[in-house]
Structure 1
Amino acid sequence: MAIGARARMVNPRLGTYFSIFAALYAALFLLVLIFEQLSLDDQLLRLAIFAGPIFIYGAMGLSVTTNETLCFFAAGRRVPAAYTGLLLAVSSLGATMIVAGTGLFFFAGFDAIVLLMGTLTGFVIMAIALAPFYRKFGAFTVPSYLGRRFESRVLRVATAAVAAVPMLLVLSAELRMGSSVAQRLVGGSQGSLICLLALTIAISTAAGGKRSFTWAGVAQSIALFLALLTVATTVSVIVTSLPIPQLANGPMVRELVRNEVNEGLPLVRVWPLAFELPPEGFSALTKPYTQPFGAIGPLAFIIGTFAIATGISAAPWLLPRVAASPGVYEARKSLGWATVFSGLALLTVSSVAVFMRDFTLDAVRAERLGSLPQWLSQLAAGHFVNFDQAAAQLGFEGLKFDRDGILFSLPVAVGLPSAFLYLLLAGALAAALVTASATTVSLATVLGEDAVQGMSWEPPTASNRVWVVRGFIGLTALSGAALAIAAPTDPLRLVLWALSITGASLFPVIVLSIWWKRLTAGGAIAGVLSGFIAAALAILTSELGMISTPSPIAGILGLPVSLGLAVTLSLMRPEANRHGLSIVRDMRIPGGEIIYDREMQRLQLRKHART
């Protein structure tokens, strides 16, 4: 097994390869735009922009097939910081935060900043407190890290079982959101589209593991940003004459809020612990855009930000991604890039929400001057909005928008060609594939490395390790598809549950394992299990109405339970050994050998000596 990460050179042609992909993707969009003007069959155009990128993603994943352990599990530890940051940003957001997040900004306005603050804070915490030290350790999975850090097989298996739950929730959410987007693009039943997406994920990642995911995932992330920025910039130029939508909507907001209040949109006050997210489906506007704490109370805003931040910083499908960077310095840089890319994406969708609020206000005010705008009828035909077309008076309460259709309504409202709508749909589908692929590969690695081999430190042969995880990639994709079909739930709620559970169960133990030398294996086991149980019970009792804390943030209530038990048991029975203390000291030194690779090499030598 290769140990020295810097001995493996970064491919100098990566920029060229992904520039070629970006050019192909732009060319496909332009061809669809041209053929639309030539009145080519609309269904054929939809199919081209749906199937073309998926074929490219699959080909890219298959083209980097590998049986080498380090390449399969850590992409050779040579992924540049910018690409790692891009993957971290899009994997943390996915189609759920992009599509449903746009609806949240549209309906909740200022209160939706909880998504932005939580995500950026999570990356900052990861960059300062977790990522550099995890990169120095170099484990392929979070359970492997904790198991080797404390020399505990029980902790390794327990962490694997706990980490599997939030990853399955995120996988199910992304498959369901991705299928909804695909259904808008090409039609068909949601169940069959979920299975098609699961098959795409398996084909594009099973051949090369993390290496295949890196190549296909970067291409999918580029497709998302091309779609978002192309549409948002075009609309910004049309509406404000400025090509920077993230800044151009500022002057619009001041006038927007004044006119919304004048048109009868009331100020809303909620209790401090309210967390009233717009549900999946159709809803009407209920509060002015900039009014704070009209949908999310101040206390719930703080708790929600903390829950999202801790969940993202310790996410078992995100944190191991830094192990693929060439070194500790690059790991820190990758988190800086992740902050930039995630902030850019969320600021862009917030500008989309502002533009749509402005068009909605125009529709409410247009009833006094004559007929309603034509774009409303077009959106109603596409099932993006509901309203009574025979009504003489159409106020805010009479317009009900689909939360997950706000992002795709803007090109129609502006009057752009349908190709822009198809581009946005394809970009959102790419975002769903990135996050679903990240969770699939991470969960399959956890099952293959920590569940199957969890009770033994004997390293299996390289080919066995790779083929076992390949099999689990297919099984995980199938399980996620089955869960998405059998238990359809609001994807945004599923993702928030997953982040709360992760923050409650894994975050305290991972932080303590780096920054507190006295943490013991028994304390870590108690912290992981108690945090998970407390978070799950809090979410369940909230859904049943037994506690007043809203379920999307109720899970984080398990964090103090996890932290308290981990610290208490560690103080009661100090068991810190010399090996564990030496690992902590090594993790805090940026240079030198990768600890996990060194430990695996020692095990291989012992196995060879015995045989």
Structure 2
Amino acid sequence: MTRSASVLFRRLGRYYLLYAAGFVGLVVFLAVAERFGLAPRWIGQIFLFSTIAIYALIGVMSRTSDVSEYYVAGRRVPALYNGMATAADWMSAASFIGLAGTLYYAGFEGLAFVTGWTGGYVLVALLLAPFLRKFGEFTIPDFLGARYEGHFARMVGVFAGVLASFVYVVAQIYGVGLITSRFIGIEFEIGVFVGLAGILVCSFLGGMRAVTWTQVAQYLILIIAYLVPVVILSYKVTGVPIPQAVYGTVLHDLGVKEVELFTEPRENDVRALYRQRADDLARKISELPESLAVERQAQMQRVNELRTQGAPAREVATAERTLRDLPRTPDEARVKWERARQESLQRSVPPPPHAEAHPGPDQASRDSARLNFIALSFVLMVGTAGLPHILMRYYTTPSVRDARRSVFWTLFFIFLLYVTAPAYAVFAKWEVYSTLIGSHIASLPPWVASWGKVGLVKIEDINADGILQLAELSLNSDAILLLTPEIAGLPYVVSGLVAAGGLAAALSTADGLLLTISHALSHDVYYRVINPEASSQRRLVITKSQLLVVAVIAAWVASLRPDSILFMVGLAFSIAASAFFPALVLGIFWKRANKWGAISGMIAGLGITLLYIVRTHPFFGGGLGNAWFGIHPISCGVFGVPTGFLVIVVVSLLTPPPSAAVLALVDKVRLPDAGR
């Protein structure tokens, strides 16, 4: 390490140590203030606005008009801090908010996310990061354009990178909307754009330089916010504040509790009612359009009867709202009733035991669960090694050696969260099963109503006994982590802390993704293809304008409340895996890979992946009945990746080999030289 690098490293250490101490001091201050009567509403607002203000301040202080600083932070980010920034860039709303919820519902099956995401960094370290840093330049399409001789491969890379990053960033902004709407008390759609302002302040002014130093600050907040609640919960339940070490005993007790709940008579009665509802909906769907007309006529008659009988205004208003919400057309009714039927069917069967591997009622179901577990792990692993916004981070280190070290630090920092996520799910489920289920619905805690307003908690007393059964409770998987402190009865300051951590996770990843998209459009399309003579100032103006446009479009899409965060992120991984991984790996390790092979392989892999999404996802009118080998839509990249490898190899062998200049580039990228 040079003297200047050593000075920078020590100075950064002092700054971030003071920053972490200040944040801990803020948490302690708010905890004391809550004891003296500070309203929860103020605690949530102070947490969110103070952290956004800090990120904005870092963004303003890091503003730059230098192209190298804007695109790759001047290539002088120390390995430790680049690892921390990459971990924040990586641990999006999917990891922070969605992972615990997925493990809560899927149990053992959810570990596919943990194994896939962590295993992906092994591939990054061995196959990509050091070689891309050796190549230099600014973006992944830069490498594709140079390695595969021209703009055709570059433009295919731009399209795939923008598509994967856009799907990913919509999920992050959706997470921002969830947090701001719940903890500031504003409408979800408005919360999306409030969060967008925080994203833009960091990335707009300083590019990668501002985003890097902001992401380090965001990592410190999100890891504190993730660990503190589960440590408190672990101590509350077991008396030991090390959740990673003791959640196994709670998991055993949870298994006993599951047997008790799943065999409880009233629970079985409730599930029978949901099964009956599903059958009724199936009948109504089969009798369309007559059934819709009958339904509308019956509801109109009920409204008239209530008005004639002088029923209370609230009851009349409820009946009128039910009439107003009825589907207007048979096609709309078919979609709406089928969705309700699937929900009722899901509630009619007990959830799988948390610790059971590859559950299912028969051997075929268990084999399908096992196959999907492997497919999802594979897609997440190679998708990690193909995500442009992650691979771009390794352009920012001073040397190849620092790029390798950076991957090690990234693994360490994400390990802190991923080793804790299973404990989070177990403790949260234990609290729900042991303290919430069986309670009187009239005396449920206030958080049920507040989260119900956001649409993430639903309770239906279908058997009208006034007692909450497990099947009558619906918790959105994206809300499990955010509401765990309230479920456990922890002080509200802990909930505010978790919200601040979730916001940090979503903002950090959104910043990196928006930079990836804007850099691809401005650098790879405008500068490399349209106007290679553009000045540095004009390039930065184009980059910032593209950043603003993409951010607004992504926020608008997120305001439409798309699929769950984790599912959208999974699709982004499949897209990135199928489009980039074969072309990048073969481009580095197989000299015979040529332009036409890479272009054909990227298009074929991406095409198969998108086709499978359309065939199997309900949004496009598909379903699992169209699935190949029963693979779920989230793992569609399992078909695209081998297709990409196969097509690249076959087409490359059938077409002329690369030029001597490309072969020299491969040698330069693969051979070490004095640590660079």
TM-score over 0.5 (shorter chain): yes
Alignment map for 1:427-442 (pairs within 5 Å): 427-442=501-516
Counterpart in 1 of 2:357?
A: 292
Aligned equivalent of 2:448: 379
Counterpart residue number, 2:247: 249
Distance 2:468 2:2 in 1: 63
Aligned twin of 2:212: 214
* Segment drifting more, 450-459 vs 399-408: 450-459
Question: How far apart in 1 are the matches of 2:431 and 2:594?
Answer: 58
Displacement, 1:437?
Answer: 0.5
Figure out how many residues of one structure are paired with residues of the other and give that number. Answer: 576
Please tell me whether residue 313 in structure 1 is matched to residue 385 in structure 2: yes
What code does the residue aligned with 1:547 have?
N
Distance 1:573 1:525, change over 3 A: same
Find out whether 1:531 has 2:605 as its counterpart: yes
1:23-81 CA-to-partner distances (Å, cap 9, x unmatched) read 22222222222222221333222221111110110110110111222211111112122
Match of 1:166 among 158, 164, 167: 164
Q: Which moved more, 1:212-221 or 1:465-474?
A: 465-474
Q: Match for residue 139 of structure 2?
A: 141
Compared with structure 1, are the counterparts of its residues 485 and 142 closer, same or farther at alpha carbon in structure 2 (3 Å cutoff)?
same
State the match for 2:373 in structure 1: 301
Q: Which residue is 1:66 aligned to? A: 64
1:550 has 2:632 as partner: yes
Structure number with the higher helix fraction is: 2
Other structure's SS at 1:400 match:
strand
Q: Could you tell me how far apart the structure 2 residues matched to 1:373 and 1:568 are?
A: 67
CA contact (8 A) 1:29 1:419 kept: yes
- Deviation digits for residues 159-199 of structure 1, max 9, x if unmatched? 11121101000111110111111111112122222122222
Verify the 8 A CA contact 2:442 2:466 in the aligned structure 1: no
2:149 and 2:343 map into 1 onto residues whose CA distance is: 45
Alignment of 1:586 onto 2:668: yes
Q: Which whole-Å CA distance do the structure 1 matches of 2:3 and 2:597 have between them?
A: 36
2:576 pairs, out of 476, 481, 502, with: 502
The 3-state SS of whatever aligns with 1:292 is: coil
Are 2:128 and 1:130 equivalent residues in the alignment? yes
Partner of 1:602: none
1:463 pairs with 2:537: yes
Q: How big is the alpha-carbon RMSD for the aligned residues of Structure 1 and Structure 2?
A: 2.7
2:615 aligns with: 541
Instruction: Tell whether the 8 Å contact from 1:91 to 1:318 is kept in structure 2 after alignment.
Output: yes
Distance 1:333 1:468, change over 3 A: same
Alignment match of 2:400 (pick from 328, 344, 348): 328
Could you tell me which residue of structure 2 aligns to residue 358 of structure 1?
A: 430
Per-residue deviation, residues 500-528 of structure 1 (Å, max 9, x unmatched): 01111111000100010000011111111
Q: Is the 8 A contact 1:132 1:332 kept in 2?
A: yes
One-letter amino acid of the counterpart of residue 471, structure 1: S
Instruction: Say if 2:257 is the partner of 1:188.
Output: no
- 1:154: Cα distance to partner? 1.5
Question: 1:515 maps to what in 2?
Answer: 589
Distance 1:451 1:107, change over 3 A: same
* Residue pairs, 1:195-206, within 5 angstroms: 195-206=193-204
Q: What TM-score, normalized by structure 1, do the two folds share?
A: 0.88
Distance 1:458 1:592 in 2: 32
1:446 maps to amino acid: A
Same amino acid, percent of matched pairs:
28
CA distance in 2, matches of 1:513, 1:19: 41
Structure 2 segments unaligned to the other structure (5+ residues):
265-341, 361-367
Distance of 1:453 and 1:75 partners within structure 2: 19
TM-score, normalised relative to structure 2:
0.80
The letter of the residue matching 1:291 is: E
> Distance between the aligned counterparts of 1:62 and 1:252, measured in 2?
46
Once the two structures are superposed, the pairs formed by residues 468-487 of structure 1 within 5 Å of their partners are 468-486=542-560
Q: Contact conserved, 2:173 with 2:554, CA < 8 A, in 1?
A: yes
Using the alignment, how far apart are the partners of 1:128 and 1:281 within structure 2? Answer: 47
Distance 2:610 2:30 in 1: 47
Q: Matched residues in 2 for 1:7 and 1:523: separation?
A: 45
SS in 1 for 2:636: helix
Partner of 2:473: 399
The structure number with the bigger radius of gyration is 2
CA 1:162 to 1:587, structure 2 compared with 1: closer, same or farther past 3 Å?
same
* Inter-CA distance 125–265: structure 2 relative to 1 (3 Å threshold): farther
Q: Specify the SS of the correspondent of 2:569.
A: helix
Distance 2:16 2:344 in 1: 37
* 591 and 475 in structure 1: CA distance in 2 versus 1, 3 angstrom threshold: farther
Seen in structure 2, the aligned counterparts of structure 1 residues 385 and 207 have a Cα distance that, compared at 3 Å, is: closer
Partner Cα separation in structure 2 for residue 100 and residue 206 of structure 1: 27
Q: How does 1:26-45 map to 2 (within 5 A)?
A: 26-45=24-43
For residues 562 and 358 of structure 1, the distance between their equivalents in structure 2, rounded to whole angstroms, comes to 44
